[in-house]
Chain A
């Protein structure tokens, strides 16, 4: 990645995350933080489960939509941020420079898209969750492809990948993987609706005003 693109990633991600933390901070009591943390750990662990895609390849969940459904937009942004920081610091996934762009893709763009779709499709029970999870993964991967090709252009080929390769490869592949995300997220939401409907109602009233 080109340094300028990395810088831009941080510059775009940090204000959104800061705003989410600020908004969340105003309405948390001391109960909320442990509760969000355990859900974050749940998403982290869920990301470790691979699902089959085809031809022997596997994909795994990102979980942004699940986080939005369970915690609302601000909660989801903070939870995804915590997950990505832990992955970066503890498990060395992607490294520190990639963190800014990972944050932008998976902790900002993906939850925002999921939230937007969920709101737009409010009332269409069956469609909202799968469409939101598909769109969140697809658009986040599209953004990633755009960043790679922007890096390539800015640095004259020293960083990044040329756009004609990066964008179709990232977006095309993830359009398929996103189906898995959609199926699993809907499955989890249906499962929770049946088994523990109280979990899905936590973010209802507060989030409308936020």
Chain B
């Protein structure tokens, strides 16, 4: 299993925009959307997200995959809303979560992950946290490959996965697998540290991202503000055309 979220970033129309501007715009709109209950306002925000995604030229297959990954979550929350408070709230829930998911996808698919972290650090998120997120992100794929090899080996030995919590053997195997993942990562940490040192690491990550807020960033910001105000207007029932 491999996931390269940076793969499409460079081809996208939003790639050259300042990640700080994208971060603020998208986070602000998501926060606004999370408070909206009116279906028309949510539909408007969703339409905006879809249009922006179309403009960004992120491959639709990638988007569909990202959206599908969130679909169980969306349908589960909408279903509980349907049972608990009726179809109106369920519809609003589905629109709301879909919009948030698509906006977040827009952000991560058009921005290289390292630039996103650079933006977070610029907003004074502690370096300890951003550095750790950066390194963790790199290691996840290494360990996933390791886990995949171990899964294959388990399968080759005839491991079935077990049926319930009472399956002692299955849990023993799983616990040993996880223990082994930790052991291997622990052993690996020493090598990784040496590799980091040899690349000049001194406890501080540096990036070569150079962004400046320019005219198009301003334009993007204005588009987001207009969308936000319009969504709010629809929610509050202010008279707007149409």
Contact digits for A80-92, partner B, Cβ 8 Å, 1 yes 0 no: 0111011011111
Q: How many residues from A make CB contacts under 8 Å with B?
A: 72
Q: Are B185 and A90 in contact (CB under 8 A)?
A: no
Q: Hey, which chain B residues are within 8 Å of A3, CB to CB?
A: 34-35
Q: Hey, which chain B residues are within 8 Å of A31, CB to CB?
A: 193
Q: How many residues from B make CB contacts under 8 Å with A?
A: 77
Q: A41-B139, A190-B175 are in contact. List 14 more A-B contacts (CB 8 A).
A: A33-B128, A38-B186, A39-B189, A45-B181, A49-B177, A55-B164, A83-B136, A88-B104, A92-B69, A95-B104, A96-B27, A162-B85, A165-B83, A176-B165
Q: Are B176 and A191 in contact (CB under 8 A)?
A: yes
Selecting from A111-119, A120-128, A179-187, the interface stretch reads A179-187
Q: Is A29 an interface residue (CB 8 A)?
A: yes
Q: Are A51 and B202 in contact (CB under 8 A)?
A: no
Q: Is A137 an interface residue (CB 8 A)?
A: no
Q: Is B30 an interface residue (CB 8 A)?
A: yes
Selecting from B12-20, B42-50, B166-174, B216-224, the interface stretch reads B166-174
Shortest Cβ gap from B71 to chain A (Å): 10
The closest CB in chain A to the CB of B151 belongs to A49
Within 8 Å by CB of B201, from A24, A30, A165, A180, lies: A30
Contact digits for B153-189, partner A, Cβ 8 Å, 1 yes 0 no: 0000000011111110011101111111111011011
Q: Are B182 and A187 in contact (CB under 8 A)?
A: no
Q: Is B5 an interface residue (CB 8 A)?
A: yes
Q: List which B62-115 residues lie within 8 A (CB) of chain A.
A: 66, 69-70, 73, 80-81, 83-86, 89, 92, 97, 100-101, 104-105, 107-108, 113
Q: Are B140 and A96 in contact (CB under 8 A)?
A: no
Supply 22 A–B pairs (Cβ within 8 Å), ascending by A: A1-B34, A3-B35, A28-B128, A30-B201, A34-B193, A35-B189, A37-B131, A38-B185, A44-B136, A45-B181, A46-B182, A49-B174, A52-B170, A85-B133, A89-B116, A96-B31, A158-B92, A161-B80, A183-B165, A191-B175, A196-B183, A199-B183
Q: Is A154 an interface residue (CB 8 A)?
A: no
Q: Are B162 and A51 in contact (CB under 8 A)?
A: yes
Q: Hey, which chain B residues are within 8 Å of A179, CB to CB?
A: 165
SS class, residues of chain A in contact with chain B: helix
Inter-chain contact total with CB atoms closer than 8 Å = 219
Q: Hey, which chain A residues are within 8 Å of B188, CB to CB?
A: 38
Within 8 Å by CB of B129, from A21, A34, A183, lies: A21
The closest CB in chain B to the CB of A95 belongs to B100
Q: Are A52 and B161 in contact (CB under 8 A)?
A: yes
Q: Hey, which chain B residues are within 8 Å of A53, CB to CB?
A: 164-165
- Give the complex CA separation of A85 and B146 in angstroms: 23
Most buried by A among B35, B66, B192: B35
Q: Are B116 and A191 in contact (CB under 8 A)?
A: no
Q: Is B40 an interface residue (CB 8 A)?
A: no
Q: Hey, which chain A residues are within 8 Å of B83, CB to CB?
A: 165
The closest CB in chain B to the CB of A17 belongs to B129
Q: Hey, which chain B residues are within 8 Å of A85, CB to CB?
A: 129, 133
Binding site for A on B (CB under 8 A): 3, 5, 27, 30-31, 34-35, 37, 66, 69-70, 73, 80-81, 83-86, 89, 92, 97, 100-101, 104-105, 107-108, 113, 116, 126, 128-129, 131-137, 139-140, 142-144, 146-147, 161-167, 170-172, 174-183, 185-186, 188-189, 192-193, 196, 201-204
- Give the complex CA separation of A188 and B137 in angstroms: 23
- Give the complex CA separation of A130 and B126 in angstroms: 33
Q: Are A30 and B202 in contact (CB under 8 A)?
A: yes
Binding site for B on A (CB under 8 A): 1, 3, 6, 18, 21, 24-25, 28-31, 33-42, 44-46, 48-49, 51-55, 61, 66, 70, 78-79, 81-83, 85-86, 88-97, 152, 157-159, 161-162, 165, 176, 179-180, 183-184, 186-188, 190-192, 195-196, 199
Q: Are B37 and A183 in contact (CB under 8 A)?
A: no
